[in-house]
Structure 1
Amino acid sequence: MKGLVCLLLLLETFVFVNGGLNENEISQQLSSEDRRQNPPQTDTLRAEASTDSQQYCHLCFPDIHAALRELTATVTEQKANIRALETRLRDAEQAAEQQTISLEELEKKTDETSNLTLSQVEELRKENRDREIAFSASLMESGDGDVGPFTTEITLTYKNVFTNIGNAYNPITAEKIDQETLLLLDDVTLTSLIPIIGLRLKFKKYLKNALDSVRDILLATPNGRGIVDAIENKHCISLKERQAMVRILVSHLIERFGENPSAGTKVTLASSVVEQFPYLKDCQGKGYEAWFSPGRFHRPATGFLEERLRNVRKRVRKGGQNRVSSENPRTSSSFILPEANVDSERATQMTEWLKNNIWPLSQVEQYMKETSIHRAKWIRDNGTKTIMEIFKEYPRLLDTPGMISQDFLILNPDSASKLTENLVPVFKDKILQFASREKQTLDLLSSVDLMSAETQSDVALQVLPVVLPTSVYKIGRKTFKPTFIETRKAFIDIQPIGTNMAEYLCSKDSKEFPHVLMLGDNQCFQAFAIINGEALEQNTLLAAVDVCFKAFYVFDIDYPKQCSTVWQFLQTVVYGLSGDETPTMRVLRAFIFADKQ
């Protein structure tokens, strides 16, 4: 039976593949033959065979196609993996080649450094072999004796030098006398240090040659005598006289030491200036920093002498370009804010209330006072903010009188009243006397003796741009040298009485940076602090300057470069706040406090 079924399946498959008899014909033939051989079982077998054949035909071909598709996808995936591996292999080979090259370069540099180090060592050894050092000295000139007793530990100095081959021994070094303190040596001190007369005279001759008298240097030139007379008789010099003095001293430096004298030489000359002319000595620091201050902490040297030397070198080597100031004129953000008295949630609630209320005034002032620390922190924590952006968040700062001064008082309680309290008794007369040497101030100072103290203080503020001129500065790629008129307008803009305030406040100048507006000629009729196009009227010009200065701190904005030196002077000298100082500021401060030293 099984054999018969297999035979039937093979026959049916053969007929199907080769396109022979159709299914009906085959069925008829099988039916007749089956009936002859085994009639009872033929129908059943034929039905089973027909069913199996149909299933085979329907299932066999789809399975093969599916398997082929899977195999094709697998081959494609393998090809992609092979390509990726080939790419990674090429990259690895290139990296290995680069590392090999770098390693060879490092080995080459190491060999060069090793050779250089060995050659330097040999040179030092040779230098030490060639150098002969020998000295002999004693504590006393002759005989023996005791030294002391002393209540504190001292350094014994062998002052009597017999032999000093190679100049390795220096009795002055033992007394901790450096190049700067040589200026202060008098005859008594020199006698104690160098008791032998012959050696002492030689040393004094050397000292005289090394430390030229500034007075003699100035008197040896045609313009120097007038400078010396001005310093000794009037205790001050004008801007032009100071510039001429610097030119004379720098010419002397270049003539003796070249274009690049050592820092010690410049310190010595600067020290000599303030020692021989005490009225030029600053009351802070060592007193001579206005003339020369050595560079430190990666910052360049400054001072009149250094700036002149730098300009001379530039003119000689590059055709002459003035030094351009690009530094930030104010660094007020560095001070530490006081602790807040209210928490952040309460401060936020009060800030929202202040945005929508301007009355009652007492509550507005109280809420502004309580939120001042949070406001200052918000201004400084959110990067650079314009006055307009701050005004949108805190509108009461400008439309409520006294809020700027109140915020400044909380931030800097020790400095808030220094300008209004000290300008008249401390600064006014000195500033006017210092400015009297300048030609641009002749009209302002023509009848200053007949003015009241308040009017004199107004004039003193107006002449600050003359005695504190702004150096060259750069905006983008353009270089600017502001004139006296431009500097004064950026500080105090003087307009005639009857100026149309609406038109003035709509102009660009009223919104560029905070400044003072004075209505009147030489005397103030009305005074305003102009901030972001808003005119805050004040009772006096002094009060307007005070509010304007405090606005820079409250809004945390930089001074305008046209008059930054004036604001920096008020910041550091008058208000006593830390900040950068220019040589011209130091000279003016030295003159103001000369009588108090």
Structure 2
Amino acid sequence: MRRAAAFLALLLCLYWTRAQGESGGLTGNDITQTEVQSEILGVKSTSDQTNISPDIWAELKELRDMAIEHSVELRKLGEENTAIQTRLTASENEVKELQRENTVLKARMKTSENVMEELKMENTDLQSRVTAFEDKSTVLEARMNASENEVEELKRQIADQPKVAFSLGLTDGGQVGPFNTDITLKFSKVITNFGQVYSPITGVFTAPVRGAYYFSFNLLDIRSNVWSVVYLYHNDKRVLWSHHYNYGNGNNRLSSSLVLQLEKGDVVYMVLPAGYSVYDDANDHTSFNGFLLFPL
């Protein structure tokens, strides 16, 4: 009976020691060798009275060591659990931060999508304008090609058109006339004679093609108190009669011009009537000019 009571007391002490370790009182590290020896001695004194066998003491010590070891393990598990909770809290904060960043990114993506839609609309408008410009450019190019063709045609016509123009001086010999009969003035000083259409030998211009021709002349007479007269003939028809009287107050000058429609082979020339004179020298005071305006 006494042995059973001592064993029960020892178990109660061990249970109390374990409870103190779990509640934060005594831990495995707080139990000293002195306390162990006190418990052993206390139990031993009782065991001396109850005659407990040595095997029971060994088992009790083993149970106590196991209790201490379990308390230490529980303490470590508590610390590990605290560390895990701390890490979980940090992970939750990271998740919240990532969620916040994700919200910001979604907002920026939405803005980017709106900008992209605006750019698409602008691009569509630009494409429409480019297409319209290309259409206009095509029309302009067609018109330019037509204009270039017209220019080429005009160039061809101009190239095919005969080059007809002349400018002549009468003489360097001074006064010509007066004569007893009408004479054809022979302009012997050839300044230009494109197409060789004027003959200084005969004094006659011959039309190389049918067309409109321009003619002009200038005349000087240095005699005083006389009439100055000159004719322009188309074939055998007098088409121009220019005259002026010199009253003795200087030289007498005549000038005139006209446009004639000529057929190919028609002739034009100037005639000095009988009894009249003209004057010319190196300054070309008396001249005869003409050129083709356009073919007909």
Higher strand share: 2
TM norm structure 1: 0.20
More helix by share: 1
If asked which structure has higher relative contact order (CA below 8 Å, sep 6+), I would say 2
Rg larger for: 2
- Give the TM-score, by structure 2 length: 0.36
